[in-house]
Amino acid sequence: MLPTPAVTVPAVPAAAPVPFLGILMLDTQFPRPPGDIGNPQTWAALGIPVQMHKVQGASPAKIVREADPRFVQPFVDAARALQAAGAALITTSCGFLAAYQDLLAGSVDVPVVSSSLLQCVTVPRPGVVTIAAASLTPRILAAAGVPAGTPVQGVAPESEFAMRILGNDPHMDIAQAERDVVAAAVALCQAHPQIESMVLECTNMPVYRDAVAQATGLPVHDVVSLLAQRWAALPA
């Protein structure tokens, strides 16, 4: 019997990992309807692959109300982990993390968009709607490059939107939350009729973008629309 000839099977090169948008997530349990940065459907609708990295213990109150510095290093570590896993762009699930834009950006080798506030420098005559006006300090605004004198309007502290999110409540009346955000946007326009662009600071507010635009008649910018633009501009 003749020996069976050896068969050489060519090696199949491993598939390159698919780049993704990495999201540094606060430790939350409040509802995240489609449009929210933390809802996967938001990104599926845009065709953007995502991975989310939750920073344990980083509650909305700890980050927004207390600006707890103990979480800075965990966010840096999470950003590095996302880059190591293949993130091509990194963002956060809280606009107040604009305070650490330079630190986060300097910790990784991929672009970082810490907050919707970063676009205030590029849109015409912006006004900002935030979840907590009292906590959005000049230091945070300056870290995001927000032009001095930019008007800021917070949702009412006792509103459904603010109380449920900052309280990290698992239940929220979404219809009422929409009314709360719209009311803040309308109040901003009434107090500052010179503004030409609406910037929604909070990453939970893109859910209500269309309602805000309809109520104010202004172009509305938020973190989801900003990230869609930045993702599209990445090198192929």
Query: Residues 167-183: pLDDT tens digits?
Result: 999 999 999 999 999 99
pLDDT of residue 13 exceeding 90: no
For range 2-13, the mean pLDDT: 52
Q: In whole angstroms, how far apart are CA 106 and each of 51, 214, 229? A: 21, 38, 22
Q: What φ, ψ does residue 31 adopt, rounded to 5°?
A: -65, 145
Q: Is residue 13 part of a domain?
A: no
Instruction: Decide: 60 and 26 in contact? Cβ < 8 Å.
Output: yes
pLDDT at position 236: 79
pLDDT at position 189: 98
pLDDT at position 17: 76
Q: Is residue 153 part of a domain?
A: yes
pLDDT of residue 32 exceeding 70: yes
Q: Is residue 4 part of a domain?
A: no
Q: Is residue 12 part of a domain?
A: no
Number of structural domains the chain divides into: 1
Q: Is residue 194 part of a domain?
A: yes
Could you tell me what percent of the chain has a pLDDT over 70?
93
Instruction: Decide: 79 and 107 in contact? Cβ < 8 Å.
Output: yes
pLDDT of residue 2 exceeding 90: no
**Which residues does 89 contact at the CB level (< 8 Å), separation at least 6?**
21, 22, 110, 111, 112, 113, 227, 230, 231, 234
Q: Is residue 3 part of a domain?
A: no
* Domain extent for 67: 20-232
Q: Is residue 10 part of a domain?
A: no
What global pTM score does this model have? 0.92
Could you tell me what percent of the chain has a pLDDT over 90?
92
pLDDT of residue 163 exceeding 90: yes
**Which residues does 142 contact at the CB level (< 8 Å), separation at least 6?**
none
State the CATH number of the domain containing residue 32. 3.40.50.12500
How do residues 45-61 score in pLDDT, each as one tens digit? 999 999 999 999 999 99
Q: Is residue 9 part of a domain?
A: no
pLDDT of residue 15 exceeding 80: no
For range 106-131, the mean pLDDT: 98
